[in-house]
Chain A
Amino acid sequence: MHRLNTGQIFIMSFFGVWSERLKINTKVYGAALLFVIALFAIESTSANAGGNSPGKFIEILGQRAVDVLSAKENVDFSKREEAFRKLLVDGFHMPTISRFVVGRYWRSANEKQRNDYKEIFVDFITRVYAARFNSYKGEVFEVVQVLEEQESNDTIVRTQIKRPSGGAPIGVDYRVRKISDSYKVVDVNVEGISMLHTHRVEFASVINRKGFDGFLKMLKDRVNTPISDIDS
């Protein structure tokens, strides 16, 4: 019963379910609930066909990534990286991600450190993904499964990347969350490894040893390290 659109929320509040569900009697509540479930069922089937669904969102995002990688003008790494930045900023919820990966250290950081971090983090995450996909050429990307996660209201979109060289496909799962009426990626799992949880542990290790400023400096160093072009 999650992923309600504004229309459903409106109807729910109309029945008093949304804001005052405890006050109304169970009969009304039950009827309203049934109605909403029916609506939800209709909406979810049409949404999947119409394109306004997490699965479709990831499909479009994936297609964009494939386009970035196959575009002729993106042969050098810096251009690819720039294209990836746009893609990530559009498709990923950076505020959630950037905050999550520094964990509790956010609180101890001062205003300047926070602002510096938020800026450099986007560069860093762009670098990570652009570099990760740097060797890709002719990969086939497909959405294999879309799962609603009950406890979080997130949707897990499972995809597979098939490499042209053959071998087992790489499983990549996206955690998609609806934020302000648009879908955003909040985590990426590659073969069971959460990128964000991994960064979080990694960052904690650095901040612990080098302090927040030392950590920022290391992030900057990483981003400024040149990466060779595709064909080298």
Chain B
Amino acid sequence: MRRFTPLICIVALFALGACSASLDSSSIDSENKSISYEVNDPYEGINRKVFAFNRALDKGLFKHIVSVYKIVPQWGRDRVTNALDNLGEPINFTNSVLQGNPERAGNTFMRFAINSTFGVVGLFDVAEDWGIEYAPEDFGQTAAVWGMDEGPYIVLPLFGPSNPRDALGLVTDFIIDPMGYVLTNDQSTYRFVGNAVDQRTAYSEELDTMESTSVDFYATMRESYRQYRNAEISNSDLPRMMPIPTITIEEHKKLPKTADKSDNLANANINN
């Protein structure tokens, strides 16, 4: 999931969303030692309908496109991914600047320069081999850095999981992307379609697995999107894992009978 360029991200969503999402705030109620969730999804009814529509479209159309595209060997697909990522560098750069992050902006600038030349118009990610990592930045992230809240979860037709902030980012990126002024309309269209196919292909296995192992795929996508975006926004190399409280142990102490069974299953002794 690392290879999300701004536009690409959007377009991935189009393919039903490698991203998924919402705002829910979890708060630890220290007294009861329980965590209560508030899922910010007031339009869940409509969202689920749009989600179902996107899924149907995915099954009926995009999955077939992906399976055809997979005839191209992985090596070839990697070249396409790299080239499309490279076209995303100018908007990554723009957003890094807007976020006031000169280091990231510098890296992105270097990447674009290196990969466009030594990397043969971006077909090869030479910069990464040299230790300059790909750093996707979109305007949704920029808006977040500027202090905008994500707002309620919304599922966009075609584009998939989003929220008002990221939807605004989507439109803004489209307008301010320097590449948009360089490429002709036709080229932009190819790029858009290319990104959609590329991203849907990259996550096809993960998405299929997620779908086949979820009891509520909609909720899984919503939460994954929210967490994924937060991780992207934080730009942190350090994990910002949400805590897992030690509730079980205490609960089991109160319920020794039920705990026994679970202990056997878990091969764990929880007397401590």
The residues of A with any CB-CB pair to B shorter than 8 Å are 89-90, 92-100, 103-104, 106-107, 111, 114-115, 118-119, 122, 127-128, 131-132, 134-135, 147, 149, 151-152, 154, 156, 158, 165-168, 170-171, 173, 175, 177, 179-182, 184, 186-187, 189-194, 196-198, 200-206, 215, 218-219, 222, 225, 227
Residues of B contacting A190 with CB < 8 Å? 1
Q: Say whether B215 faces chain A, with CB atoms less than 8 Å apart.
A: yes
Q: Is the CB–CB distance between A180 and B269 below 8 Å?
A: yes
Contact of A151 among B216, B238, B243 (CB under 8 A): B243
Residues of B contacting A111 with CB < 8 Å? 258
Q: Is the CB–CB distance between B242 and A194 below 8 Å?
A: yes
Q: Say whether B138 faces chain A, with CB atoms less than 8 Å apart.
A: no
Q: Is the CB–CB distance between B244 and A202 below 8 Å?
A: no
Q: Is the CB–CB distance between A158 and B239 below 8 Å?
A: yes
A78 → B minimal CB distance (Å):
15
Given contact pairs A100-B248, A198-B220, a sample of 5 additional A-B residue pairs in the complex whose CB atoms are under 8 Å apart:
A93-B268, A104-B35, A118-B261, A180-B270, A193-B228
Q: Is the CB–CB distance between B215 and A191 below 8 Å?
A: no
Inter-chain contact count A-B, CB under 8 Å? Answer: 186
Q: Is the CB–CB distance between B265 and A118 below 8 Å?
A: yes
Contact of B247 among A100, A128, A203 (CB under 8 A): A100
Contact of B212 among A180, A218, A227 (CB under 8 A): A227
Q: Is the CB–CB distance between A95 and B74 below 8 Å?
A: no
Q: Say whether B185 faces chain A, with CB atoms less than 8 Å apart.
A: no
A155 to B219, CA, bound (A): 28
Q: Is the CB–CB distance between A131 and B227 below 8 Å?
A: no
Contact of A179 among B134, B220, B228, B268 (CB under 8 A): B268
Q: Is the CB–CB distance between B228 and A201 below 8 Å?
A: no
B140 → A minimal CB distance (Å):
15
Q: Is the CB–CB distance between B39 and A201 below 8 Å?
A: yes
Q: Say whether B241 faces chain A, with CB atoms less than 8 Å apart.
A: yes
Which partner residue on chain A sits nearest B243 by CB separation?
A: A152
Q: Is the CB–CB distance between B252 and A167 below 8 Å?
A: no
Q: Say whether B34 faces chain A, with CB atoms less than 8 Å apart.
A: yes
Say yes or no: A205-B239 contact (C-beta < 8 A), given A96-B244, A193-B231, A194-B227.
Answer: no
Q: Is the CB–CB distance between B258 and A192 below 8 Å?
A: no
Q: Is the CB–CB distance between B205 and A135 below 8 Å?
A: yes
Say yes or no: A128-B213 contact (C-beta < 8 A), given A95-B252, A202-B220.
Answer: yes
B189 → A minimal CB distance (Å):
26
Contact of A131 among B81, B212, B230 (CB under 8 A): B212
Q: Say whether B166 faces chain A, with CB atoms less than 8 Å apart.
A: no
A210 → B minimal CB distance (Å):
9
What would be 25 A-B contacts, judged by CB atoms less than 8 Å apart?
A93-B248, A93-B266, A93-B268, A94-B266, A94-B268, A95-B266, A96-B246, A97-B244, A98-B248, A98-B262, A99-B247, A99-B252, A100-B248, A115-B258, A118-B265, A135-B205, A151-B243, A158-B239, A180-B271, A187-B242, A194-B227, A197-B242, A202-B223, A219-B215, A222-B215
